[in-house]
Structures are given as C-alpha cells and as structure tokens.
Amino acid sequence: MIHACTAAISAPRPSQLGPSSYFGKLRIASTGFVGIRDDGGGLSPLKDFLAGGKHDDFCLVKSSGIPDLLLMPRAESVLSMKVSLRRTNLWNQPVMPQPRTFEEALTQASFTNDDLDHCRGTHYQLLGGDSFGGGQRKPGAMVNNTINTTIFLSLISHPAFQLFAGFATGVFATWAPKTFEFYLNYMAVFYNTYTYLSHPFLNGIWSSCTFNLGPCTATRPHRDHNNLAFGWCAIMVLGNFDHTRGGHLVLWDCKLIIEFPLGSTILIPSAAILHLNIPIHRNEHRYSFMQYTAGGLFRWVEQDFKSEEEYLAGLSVKEQKEEKDLGLKRAKVGAAYFSTLDKLKEILFNVLY
C-alpha cells in the first residue's frame, strides 16, 4: 500500500525561484529517455555559497521544518519538493534506522579501494534493483557480489526503508501526478512482462535504489543521467551531522543551496539538474538513500522490448526519421508533465467535490 503521508503534514511553503535562478531546457539524449552525462569538478565548502564567497549569488533555503516546494520561474511548475518525516509521528517509531544500521552495512559489505572513487564522489555506495543501460543487453536486476547482495536485501527488507519508500512514493504521486502516472503505466507493462523481476519495494514506484553508505556522503557535481530524463528521484538523508554547517543539497542550475536535515526527503528531477552536496564536518556522518528508475526501462517498453538498433532496423527510413524526431520531442512532452499549481488545485478540487 502506498502511504499518502503528505496529508499528515502542514501545507508547503512555496519558494519561487528568483529571477537569477535558472532551470535550462531538459538535457535529453537523442532517444528521449535518459539524460546526458555531466559530472566532474570537486566539492565546494559552504563558505563558497555565502556572502563574499565565489558562488554568493546562490539563494540559501533554510530549513523551516515545514515542507518546501520549489517552483520553476514563470511557469510556476513544481520542480522539487522537500518534506520531513520528523514532523510526523512515524519518526518516533522504533523501526527508524539508526546510524548503526549503516555502520554495520558498511563494515560487512565487500568493497575495494576503487569503489571509493566513482562519478558521484568518494563514498561507499550499494546499488540494487532493476535497471537497463551501461552495456546490458536487456533489462535485469543489477548484479552485486554475494555479500553485497545479502546486505542490499537486508536493507530493503528493513521496515524503515519500506516506510521511506512508501512515503516518498506518496509525495511523488501528490506533487507530480502526471509524471507519476507515466511511471505507473510504463512500469505496469514492464513488470507484467518480466514477471521474474519486481520493484525493490512493494509500496514504492521506483525500480532501483542506492544506499550511500558514506560514512561521510557528499556528492560531487553530477546529473544522474541514467535516470529518466524528466523523471523524479527521491533522496532521504540520515546520519549524525549539523545540517546548518554541511550536507546541503545544491541545485546548481537553479542557483539554490538547500539545507537538508536528517529525516528529510527531497524529490528532484536528478537527470536534468546538476546537483551536489556540501561536505560535512570531521566526526560527523551522513548517509543517504536514493530511489530512481532508469530511463532505459521506459525506452525498452516504448520500443517493443527491443534494443535501439534492433528497433530502428525494423523501421522504414521514414519511420526511423520520425522516431528520431520523436526522441527529441520527448523533452517537451516530459517537461509538460511537471505540475503547475493551478493543475494541482484542480485535481484537489475534483477529489474533494
């Protein structure tokens, strides 16, 4: 069952992005489903984003404890949503994972030094779920070694992560209902066809998740280009750190630096927006849990369960051209799925009356 927890928390505070804020066109690969790889660059300390720092044109979104809604300028579309579980009575439930849960996972997992240097940063990460891309010939479950598979399975069986999955899914369905419906429709076809695969969480909409096991998770500037180009991912943050001094989520393209306290979940279009974290301080720990669905899974459904080459080979020259044009148009189609406040009000009105 999907938790519609958003109903239990107070009304969101909209932060209209300032005129200097920028959310460019969706960067979309020619097939129209995944983003374009863009990472590199190092970590920036908080002072760079404060008065006198080299990025002091960024706007700091302080954590108010109530949900934060970020809107795109002019279009007033909902770009991001931040909610905190700590304001709900769910937070005090004994099932909540303690930093110990991550420490134990990290101690038991089997990592090499190379695992500490990846495009997102220099922290340990455990990935799992169903995916497609990166050389796979067809969609399937991500492959880990036996130890890491066991740890991944035990984390996704943890009641707290099941609760987070349902919570984030409820937020997604509430604030981006059209995008959510797109996920529902495509994933219903996908999982009805591949009955031997299943979502990591029965109450969650996303097909994959990453446990950023830190112990000091701070991502470098990156776009999660394998995610659906116009899709949303959910990031839940845990650990033991002072969120006013570090751990912020920076949405580079929007010139926003968002305080990201323990127990909060932020949903963003992570393939489209360049994002990164401010490092935390010595003796602090930060872990995050990210849920997403690879754009390749949607493409696979759209293109009759065939590889790009196989699918195009079955089309006439005219159809191939149409298909390529359609790929680029998908950025527009995807952007149209973002909710406007008026649309959300209309939906609410129809539900209530």
Ligand X SMILES: O=C(O)CCC(=O)C(=O)O
Residues binding ligand X (CB under 6 A): 120, 210, 212, 217, 219, 224, 235, 237, 249, 260, 275, 277, 288, 290
The nearer residue to ligand X, 210 or 303, going by C-beta atoms, is 210
Partner touching 323 among Fe ion, ligand X, none, CB below 5 to 8 Å by kind: none
Segment 211 to 270, residues that bind Fe ion, using CB under 5 A = 224, 270
The nearer residue to ligand X, 29 or 235, going by C-beta atoms, is 235
Segment 270 to 289, residues that bind Fe ion, using CB under 5 A = 270
In the complex, the smallest distance separating the C-beta of residue 118 from ligand X, rounded to whole angstroms, is: 10
In the complex, the smallest distance separating the C-beta of residue 283 from ligand X, rounded to whole angstroms, is: 19
What 3 state SS string does the chain have?
Answer: CCCCHHHHCCCCEEEECCCCCCCCCCCCCCCCCECCCCECCCCCCHHHHCCCCCCCCCEEECCCCCCEEEECCCCCEEEEEEEEHHHCHHHHCCCCCCHHHHHHHHHHCCCCHHHHCECCECCEEEEEEEECCCCCCCCEECCCCHHHHHHHHHHHCCHHHHHHHHHHHHHHHHHCHHHHHHHHHHHHHHHHHCCCCCCCCCCCCCCEEEEEEECECCCCCECCCCEECCCCEEEEEEEECCCCCCCCEEEHHHCEEECCCCCEEEEECCCCCCEEECCCCCCCEEEEEEEECEHHHHHHHHCCCCCHHHHHHCCCHHHHHHHHHHHHHHHHHHHHCCCEHHHHHHHHHHHHC
Query: Nearest residue to ligand X, using CB?
Result: 288
In the complex, the smallest distance separating the C-beta of residue 292 from Fe ion, rounded to whole angstroms, is: 8
Partner touching 31 among ligand X, Fe ion, none, CB below 5 to 8 Å by kind: none
In the complex, the smallest distance separating the C-beta of residue 224 from ligand X, rounded to whole angstroms, is: 5
The nearer residue to ligand X, 17 or 262, going by C-beta atoms, is 262
In the complex, the smallest distance separating the C-beta of residue 195 from ligand X, rounded to whole angstroms, is: 29
Query: Any contact of residue 68 with Fe ion (CB under 5 A)?
Result: no
The nearer residue to Fe ion, 3 or 120, going by C-beta atoms, is 120
Chain residues in the site for Fe ion (CB under 5 A):
224, 270
